[in-house]
A = this chain, B = another copy of it.
Amino acid sequence: MTENLEIKKKLVHRWFVHLQNEICKQLISLEKNKKFTLNSWKKSNKNNEGGGKSFIFTNGKIFDKIGINQSTVSGKFKKEFRSKIPGADKDGRYWASGISIVAHMKNPKMPALHFNTRFISTSQSWFGGGIDATPSYKDHKEKLMIHKKLKLICNQNKKNYTKYKNLCEKYFYLPHYNEQRGIGGIFFDYEKNNWKNNFKFVRDLGIGFLDITKSIINKKKLLKWNNRDKKKQFIKRGRYVEFNLLYDRGTKFGLNSGGNTEAILMSLPPKPQWRIKNE
């Protein structure tokens, strides 16, 4: 059983690393200037507790900023966290691997896109993740396309799309405005049963994210936009910053558990703005 778990960990880690490379290759190849920043980090110098790599690309023709993060780390949860994490109450040790991507587009008619999948192991083990989109420009057809694609991937893997869709809406929510962050997507966590099926679902989502992203870019890269569209996008990015710093569990967890600050805050959009009434 333990041996089996070790194999699973290896397979998951390898997939996330492969997917990161594939996404980098396919998305950054869309840009003319291909210079990106690589932040390769280790969790600690003392023990072999893993680390990660962040690729960050900025100021492109397609992407104002895209961050493509992969990390595989292990350690021991602090006592105050353990009660909140399944299977960690008696033994605080954990292993976690994941990939996380946030793309903030130059063309304000394209939505910001977010994708994350992860596998976490304590005395239990589970998958989690999701895909969601945050447009500043209404596009009903595009919303339908994204949700149709996500529903298809869920159905193909016998996953409950409606449940995941509702979880996503509940999660990406700004209570102080009583509004969704974006147009939703799917969100899931604590998927424990049938590892093989879950792993396939997670792999399909990675490929699905790449498909959705490329399809949006291809459809919209030549669309004209003006300063008013861009201003609207900057304001939407202000809300994105608010969500990530005020409510996002991943951000809080990362900062509280001594993760890599730069990699955690990679998700923050460039040039967010806050609207002044009547301005």
Assess the A276–B245 pair: CB atoms within 8 A: no
Contacts of A175 in B (CB 8 A): 255
Residues of A131-146 contacting chain B, CB below 8 A:
none
Tell whether A268 pairs with B274 under 8 Å between CB atoms, given A177-B261, A245-B246.
Answer: yes
A-B contact pairs, 22 of them (CB 8 A): A37-B276, A37-B277, A37-B278, A56-B276, A56-B277, A58-B279, A175-B255, A176-B255, A177-B261, A238-B268, A241-B245, A241-B272, A242-B265, A245-B245, A246-B246, A246-B251, A246-B252, A246-B255, A268-B274, A270-B273, A271-B271, A271-B273
Closest 5 CB pairs of A and B: A245-B245, A176-B255, A176-B261, A245-B246, A37-B278
In this complex, what residue of B is CB-closest to A272?
A: B272
Q: Which residues of A contact B (CB under 8 A)?
A: 37, 39, 56, 58, 65, 175-177, 238, 241-242, 245-246, 251-252, 255, 261-262, 264-265, 268, 270-274, 276-279
Instruction: Please name 10 further chain A to chain B contacts, defined as beta carbons within 8 Å, in addition to the given A241-B241, A246-B251, sorted by A numbering.
Output: A37-B276, A37-B278, A56-B276, A176-B255, A176-B264, A177-B261, A238-B268, A241-B245, A245-B245, A245-B246
Q: Provide the bound-state CA to CA distance between A277 and B255, in Å.
A: 18
Q: Provide the bound-state CA to CA distance between A274 and B175, in Å.
A: 25
Name the contact of A265 in the complex, choosing from B255, B268, B274, B278 (C-beta under 8 A).
B274
Assess the A277–B265 pair: CB atoms within 8 A: no
In this complex, what residue of B is CB-closest to A58?
A: B276
